Structure 1
């Protein structure tokens, strides 16, 4: 008997300005300041984000991305920051937005919006975020997790296929599959 696959948590959407995006939302049993560290501290990010990210937390600040086996080292720029509620930055031609909302003293909603430069990357990137956010979910529960490039990436191809089957735009090159 095989286990039922978990539901896809990403939503494909078109923003008001016409740009395509995938959006994910999670609720964590942590105060907003703790979740803010998950998304801004380089050592915390390294445990779930696809790249190691060194961030100058100010508008226009530089970000250096390294350590992702599927991307060369690169740089980005902070577009907006409002601690502990919002961080957005450019990343490989796309824009990432992290929004945090305190629901209670020790409960925070985290929303990740990946604004895509190309619509056909939606399924690929959606599947990638499912894997990365599974690592963040484990971290938030206090579980040891080796990060998004460890053994947990095994389900990525299955998740990608499910996004494609769901009609999420696809067709962009996929490292290791093309």
Structure 2
């Protein structure tokens, strides 16, 4: 796995704020697709440990099992197997874009379109931890549970994103 974008803040063409991450995996696109579109794959790294998806535009996505967050649901915005999946989560949008790089490599891009600009550093720190768990799982190595990982690591990542100038200040679930 190669990290080509470890987490950046940007404003999209329509001026919506977002954070973006990018990885290159030494796996075919079908394997990476299963990690982002199959509940069994998502369970290893996604913030909500229990997720269901109706993989059709307008389909429902449910998120549960996180003691810091109430159960919620979203909608599938777009799905184009094995290249693109986008859905709503709270007021945000998550876009997973996959691009084959030959037969055995895949570029993975996660774009979290933010409802609120001040969530950028918070969300980037969370995604950084989750994507580390994805990286580990994709490589077949045992990983710490991304849902109950060390808080100090999140705090350090958050402080780093704030120092890098990402907008911050939003409340952090489970922290007062």
What band does the TM-score fall into relative to the shorter chain?
over 0.9
Shift of 1:153: 4.8
CA RMSD of aligned residues (A): 1.5
Which of 113, 117, 126 is the equivalent residue of 2:111? Answer: 113
Moved over 2 A (4+): 150-154, 175-178
Q: Check the 8 A contact 2:69/2:173 in 1, yes or no.
A: no
Q: Name the counterpart of 1:142.
A: 140
How many pairs does the alignment contain? 172
Partner of 2:6: 9
CA distance in 1, matches of 2:90, 2:17: 15
Q: 2:161: which partner in 1?
A: 163
TM-score, scaled to structure 2: 0.93
Q: 1:109 to 1:153 in 2, by over 3 A?
A: farther
SS at match of 1:50: coil
Q: 2:40 aligns with which of 24, 43, 52?
A: 43
Show CA shifts across 1:99-143 (max 9, x none): 000001010010000000000000000000000000000001101
Matches of residues 24-63 of structure 1 in structure 2 within 5 Å? 24-51=21-48, 52-63=50-61
Q: Secondary structure at the match of 1:167?
A: coil
Using the TM superposition, give the Cα deviation of residue 145 of structure 1 relative to its aligned residue in structure 2, in angstroms. Answer: 1.8
Q: Secondary structure at the match of 2:6?
A: coil
CA shift, 1:26, in A, is 0.5
Q: Structure 1: any 5+ residue segments left out of the alignment?
A: 1-7
